[in-house]
Amino acid sequence: MMGKMRFGSRVGIPGSGRDTERIEFKRGGGAQTLFGIPFISVGVLALLTCIGLIPMEGERGELAFMAAGFFGAVFAVLGALLLFGRSGLTIDRRLGEVIQWRGLIVPMSKTTHPLARFDRVRLERRREGEGRGYAVLLHGKDIPEAVLVEQIDDCRLAMRTAERLALFLEKPLEDLTGAAGPDR
């Protein structure tokens, strides 16, 4: 068993709190919430216009109300997902599990994988169609799809996360970024 590791100003790995046997990576909240506020606001205003609580100037054709209703619903749903959507990954050595979860404010769906099925941590550069930046992934031979741990724009930060995760899991790190040397 590994002793306590110090990374930055926290004991353990970022996101793990005080539990040295568990790591949590969370997405959602923060700046994402700020982007959701205008979307949900526009959506709600358009829906209120559609049902007639906010008067619409000019011609009030049926097509205008249908368009307001459609776009209002789309913007409201997108805004709600940005505002309340959360996802994450928990790696628990004590339980021997990797748990992926998604939800609105609280986890609503979970997928659990046995930790023993993963044999390496992989760092790779993402292409345009897959998003930007660098992805830290958990790979295993008999696992059909890698588990995304974190996606980061900064190569150094991604490498540091991948190295710490590999150290935490005591698994080899596979670097497919092509970045070499201290300037990564």
151, amino acid identity: Q
pTM of the model: 0.65
Sheet holding 134-139: strands in order across? 147-152, 134-139, 120-125, 173-175
Instruction: Dump pLDDT digits (tens) for 77-107.
Output: 988 888 888 888 889 999 999 998 888 877 7
140-166 burial string, b = 16+ CB within 10 Å, else e?
beeeeebbbbbbbeebeebbbbbbbbb
CB 22 within 8 A of CB 90: yes
Give pLDDT, residue 65. Answer: 77
Instruction: Dump pLDDT digits (tens) for 17-64.
Output: 567 888 888 887 777 788 888 999 999 988 888 877 777 676 667 777
Instruction: Dump pLDDT digits (tens) for 51-68.
Output: 777 776 766 677 777 888
CB 116 within 8 A of CB 138: no
**Tokens representing residue 62 in the block:** 């049926």
**Cα-atom radius of gyration of the chain, to the nearest Å?**
22
Burial of 57: CB neighbours in 10 Å, binned 0-12, 13-18, 19+: exposed
Where do the domains of the chain lie?
6-26+88-175, 33-84
Has residue 178 got a pLDDT over 80?
A: no
Classify strands 22-28 and 85-92 as parallel, antiparallel or unpaired.
antiparallel
Which CATH architecture describes the domain 6-26+88-175? Roll (2.30)
Q: Report how far residue 53's alpha carbon sits from residue 51's, in angstroms, rounded to the nearest whole number.
A: 6
Q: Report how far residue 87's alpha carbon sits from residue 110's, in angstroms, rounded to the nearest whole number.
A: 10
